[in-house]
Amino acid sequence: MLVLLPPSETKRSGGEAVPLDWTGLAFPELSIARSTLSRALVSLCADPDAAMRALKLGRTQAGEIGRNRALLVSETMPALDRYTGVVYDALEAASLSEAERRFADEHVAVHSALFGPVAALDAIPAYRLSHDSRLPGLTLKRHWGVLVAGALQQTSGLLLDLRSEAYVALGAAPVRADSVFLRVVSDVTGTTRALNHFNKKSKGQFVRALIQHGQDFGTVDELLAWAHAARITLRPGDPGELQLVVDSSVSAPKFSIFAPVEQLSRA
């Protein structure tokens, strides 16, 4: 099983005084593309004004340019700890046990705009690059699309894609029975609608539940059976998709992916 997470624009500073090790990252077939893009980003950030424009940064974000200039020699930390924001706050990686973190490293990847997919515990530096950033002479869709799609094609077992559609465009998941895209929705008065506000939080909660359960699911049916037993409302959606149904009503005392028992009987 491989769970693909989106990255976050925001990243935690610091880490261990060990620079990036290209050979230690998951999907080593992406090493040349990673190195090429990283060096292009460092070069771009030698000109702060040009970098601010290319990376679409505001004046208060000027510190990101310094991060990028130093990324080849700066401190590193596991990807699951490096990223911050709603998904990663809900996932709460720091509170996972050592066994749970090892499971995450084997079965969870984060799709970085700079490094492509990396394993949960792959050590990476802080950086700033978004899915829609444009470096001189280089577009990320063209740079990553075929390479990342090819790398994902080589995976086996269940592939659960929790990325945003913008990151799917940087490398599509394979089309096969055990490869599915997760869409977060809510049922309101019998109508299913996609969610934006609770989307990221629910993904973080869901992946934390998967990690803590610690089972390497081989098929979609196995995943659905577990979700039902865990009182998580997960169901088939459009072809190639699963729907994670959450309660987004304003009257709900606490947002959660865990549904009331009576809702499960209707899902």
Mean pLDDT over each residue of the chain, to the nearest integer: 90
CA distance 245 to 242: 10
Range from 95-109, 126-140, 247-261 that averages highest in pLDDT: 95-109
Residue 6 banded pLDDT, cuts 50, 70, 90: very high
**Averaged over 37-66, what is the pLDDT?**
93
Question: Is 87 exposed, middle or buried (CB count within 10 Å of its CB: 0-12, 13-18, 19+)?
Answer: buried
**Averaged over 104-122, what is the pLDDT?**
98
CA distance 84 to 93: 10
Residue 252 has pLDDT above 50, yes or no: no
Tally Cβ neighbours within 10 Å of residue 20.
21
Residue 206 has pLDDT above 90, yes or no: yes
Percent pLDDT > 90 in the chain is: 83
Residue 230 has pLDDT above 70, yes or no: yes
Residue 209 has pLDDT above 50, yes or no: yes
Is residue 120 within 8 Å of residue 96, measured between CB atoms?
no
pTM: 0.90
Residue 251 banded pLDDT, cuts 50, 70, 90: very low
Residue 59: per-residue pLDDT: 85
Residue 196: per-residue pLDDT: 59
**Averaged over 230-235, what is the pLDDT?**
95
Residue 74: per-residue pLDDT: 96
Dihedral over alpha carbons 135, 138, 142, 148 (to 10 degrees): -70
Residue 189: per-residue pLDDT: 55
Residue 186: per-residue pLDDT: 85
Residue 98: per-residue pLDDT: 98
Residue 121 has pLDDT above 90, yes or no: yes
* 142-146, 190-194, 223-227: range with lowest mean pLDDT: 190-194
Residue 33 has pLDDT above 50, yes or no: yes
**Averaged over 160-168, what is the pLDDT?**
96
Dihedral over alpha carbons 51, 124, 130, 52 (to 10 degrees): -20
**Averaged over 48-75, what is the pLDDT?**
93
**Averaged over 135-158, what is the pLDDT?**
95
C-alpha dihedral sign at 219, 25, 120, 87: negative
Is residue 167 within 8 Å of residue 173, measured between CB atoms?
no
Residue 263: per-residue pLDDT: 36
